[in-house]
Amino acid sequence: MIIIIGVVTAQPNAARALCRSLVAWYRRNRRDLPWRRGRDPYRVWVSEIMLQQTTVRAVVPYFERFVRVFPSLQALAAARLDDVLAEWSGLGYYRRARHLHEAARLIVKQHRGRFPRRLEEALALPGIGRYTAGAILSIAYGQPLPVVDGNVARVLSRLCLVRGPRSSAREKKLWSAAADLVAAADVPGDLNQALMELGATVCAPFGPSCPKCPLRRACRARAAGLQERVPSPRRLTRPTVAVRADVAVVTRAGRLLLRRRPDQSLMHGLWEFPTIPSGGVDDGLRVELRESLATIRHSITYRRLELRVRPARLLSEPPRDRYRWVRPGDLRRLPASSLVRKIMTAVGARTDRRTGSWTFDRPLRLC
């Protein structure tokens, strides 16, 4: 039994032993993920940004496509923002893609195209906070910097029995514990990944598999029988709001009419099918009405967004700066939210899983 005091341990040898068993477990049990092949800082960086608040399962295909289209930091910096957003389409939190692109250009300008090694320089880049900086610098460069994400927070809360609701004091303890551990590791990047992997696969939020855990003998929560109750659940999320929107699918010569979302709106700059107010005109999509759009607000899941897709015809030509006609096959080259994919599916289009390109089995004749 290792005595855990305060943060991790007052005994450096015990901390080293803990690290060794954890990393050994990691090397035996880690999942084979595309960003774990090699330590290219660029690939580590892209993966860390994509994985923010996003499941591994969702990220894998996006990561593979993204690094195929933008194989290097230089390629990313040279790309147009719209092309970067297009590869991000459907992943959500599009600000991440904007930040990633902006940071790539800054790195080319200020760091000769190499991801910076100094913590302060990494933190100065847009989209990179304390967690992401620590992850990249430890995994790619082997620096002994701590990381605390949702997984690590859960593991350390249990290991060190850090109780209570989210607070700055609790955060401080967790970061301190993570720092103690990574300082005792032979390979900091592996230790950090081991903590995350453990949280993702063994030290689960509900029903942790304690018998499989390499830290089970040191875990204070388990010793106290509190592993199910630590950490305390986060506060209730905001209730969702049901929104109804009618979507106009306008076609001409086999092309679809898309509209670019305005600045300062959710998902600004992304392309979508025009929406029209529920109960709006039935005789076609009037250009005069296009400003009166249903707003898709955050915390509304699309399951609760009732979509009524209907054919519409244009009574006048829409302005070119914000509308365009797109061939279904070219849709994937435009930045669009997941809503576009849902609507395409609703009108009978199919997507090639690998290329992301859309086709219609039958000619598209909606109006």
User: Which residues in this chain contact DNA in the complex, by CB under 7 A?
Assistant: 33, 35-36, 47-48, 51-58, 90-95, 99, 126-133, 135, 149-151, 154, 167-168, 193, 196-197, 199-200, 204-205, 233-234, 236-240, 266-267, 297-299, 301-304, 337-339, 341-342
Facing residues of 360 across strands?
349
Identity of the residue, 67 or 128, whose beta carbon is nearer to DNA in the bound complex: 128
Pairwise CA distance, residues 31 & 39, whole Å: 16
Identify residue 25 by its one-letter amino acid code: W
User: What is the closest distance, in whole angstroms, from the C-beta atom of residue 365 to DNA in the complex?
Assistant: 26
Q: Return phi, psi of residue 308, to 5°.
A: -115, 105
Structure tokens given for 322 = 């914000």
Identity of the residue, 149 or 246, whose beta carbon is nearer to DNA in the bound complex: 149
Pairwise CA distance, residues 201 & 54, whole Å: 15
Q: Return phi, psi of residue 284, to 5°.
A: 125, 165
Identity of the residue, 154 or 220, whose beta carbon is nearer to DNA in the bound complex: 154
Pairwise CA distance, residues 162 & 179, whole Å: 15
- Tally Cβ neighbours within 10 Å of residue 170: 17
Identity of the residue, 288 or 352, whose beta carbon is nearer to DNA in the bound complex: 352
Identity of the residue, 217 or 234, whose beta carbon is nearer to DNA in the bound complex: 234
Pairwise CA distance, residues 312 & 98, whole Å: 33
| Mode of pairing for the β-strands spanning 271-272 and 255-260 | antiparallel
Handedness of CA 185, 186, 192, 193 (dihedral sign): negative
Pairwise CA distance, residues 41 & 44, whole Å: 5
User: What is the closest distance, in whole angstroms, from the C-beta atom of residue 325 to DNA in the complex?
Assistant: 22
Q: Where would I find the beta strands (DSSP E) of 206-336? A: 243-249, 251-252, 255-260, 271-272, 275-276, 305-311, 323-326
Measured CA angle at 341 (ends 338, 343), to 5 deg: 110
Pairwise CA distance, residues 333 & 44, whole Å: 25
User: What is the closest distance, in whole angstroms, from the C-beta atom of residue 129 to DNA in the complex?
Assistant: 3
User: What is the closest distance, in whole angstroms, from the C-beta atom of residue 9 to DNA in the complex?
Assistant: 24
SS3 sequence of 29-51 = HCCCCHHHCCCCHHHHHHHHHHC
DSSP 3-state of 271? strand
User: What is the closest distance, in whole angstroms, from the C-beta atom of residue 57 to DNA in the complex?
Assistant: 6
Catalytic residues: 48
User: What is the closest distance, in whole angstroms, from the C-beta atom of residue 89 to DNA in the complex?
Assistant: 7
User: What is the closest distance, in whole angstroms, from the C-beta atom of residue 84 to DNA in the complex?
Assistant: 13
DSSP 3-state of 11? coil
Pairwise CA distance, residues 16 & 216, whole Å: 16
Identity of the residue, 288 or 306, whose beta carbon is nearer to DNA in the bound complex: 306
